[in-house]
Structure 1
Amino acid sequence: MALLETAPVASDWLKSEDGSFRSRDTAIIAAGAGKLKTGTVLALVAATGKYVPAASSGNDGSQTAVAVLFTPVDATSADQKAVIVSRQAIASHAGLTYGPTINDATKRAAANGQLKAVGIIVREGA
């Protein structure tokens, strides 16, 4: 018997947010970022003001995790407007998706620390 697989939803990772949706903002996801799921950890590229999946290194802002994608988007070939969580929230680590260069526990811990600096607390477990 095959297991039913469902698409990720925000409640997989977002466990608490500030009232009146104050935790959320609208943002532009940069073209070329690809198909991103809810829970993707994002960084803000300083020169463009657009968001991309956070990277483990860089010098343009992409190396600093500052938000988490709330709504899935396909920014493969064009910029896309999206809703992000950028402050005052609690997230479960199990539902977060990190950029391809954030590929080990040390790098994930660093990204989670960066999220904490903007008020997004990442907790182990549900």
Structure 2
Amino acid sequence: MTIKHEPIHAGEFLLSEGAGNISREAINVAAGPALNPGQVLGLVTASGEFAPYVPTAEDGSQTAVAILYGPLGESDIVRRGRAVVRLAEVSEAHLTGLDPEGEKSLGEHFVIVR
């Protein structure tokens, strides 16, 4: 018997968000590995591109500011994506890369982790 694992769906981490699409923005994501919905993101200061949140980084991505809405494939170039950047409640169990400091940073943008 083959067991199939269903990946996380776009926006599955959202518990609630602002009316319409006020919680989301179109973003540029730095080149790199494939990313799943729910990936916590930081903003690289020098390029203005979003990248996975890394608490030990020193390029701006050490501050959590957004959560990737849908999946992105691996790429050698900058990718377009959507992210939740404000006014939302999200499920902690569906997030990737979150730590207590990242949770605090997201809260400053009114993205509340439940």
Q: TM-score, normalised by structure 2?
A: 0.92
Deviation track 1:14-65 (CA, whole Å, cap 9, x = no partner) reads: 1100001100000001012x10000000000011000000001222211000
Q: Which residue of 1 aligns with 2:63?
A: 64
The structure with the largest strand share of the pair is: 1
Q: Which residue of 2 aligns with 1:76?
A: 75
State the identity as a percent. 35
1:43 aligns with 2:42: yes
Q: Which residue of 2 aligns with 1:25?
A: 25
5+ long unaligned stretches in structure 2:
none
Report the residue type matching 2:21 in the other structure. F
Distance 1:22 1:63 in 2: 25
Check whether the contact 2:11–2:70 (CA below 8 A) recurs between aligned residues: no
1:119 aligns with 2:110: yes
5+ long unaligned stretches in structure 1:
103-107
Check whether the contact 2:63–2:105 (CA below 8 A) recurs between aligned residues: yes
Q: Which residue of 1 aligns with 2:12?
A: 12
The structure with the largest helix share of the pair is: 1
What SS class does the counterpart of residue 71 from structure 1 fall into?
A: coil
Distance 2:11 2:48 in 1: 27
Runs of 4+ residues over 2 Å off in structure 1: 1-4
What SS class does the counterpart of residue 110 from structure 1 fall into?
A: helix
Distance 2:103 2:38 in 1: 13
Q: TM-score, normalised by structure 1?
A: 0.84
Distance 1:85 1:75 in 2: 20
Distance 2:11 2:41 in 1: 18
Deviation at 1:75, TM superposition (A): 4.0
What SS class does the counterpart of residue 37 from structure 2 fall into?
A: coil
Q: How many residues align?
A: 114
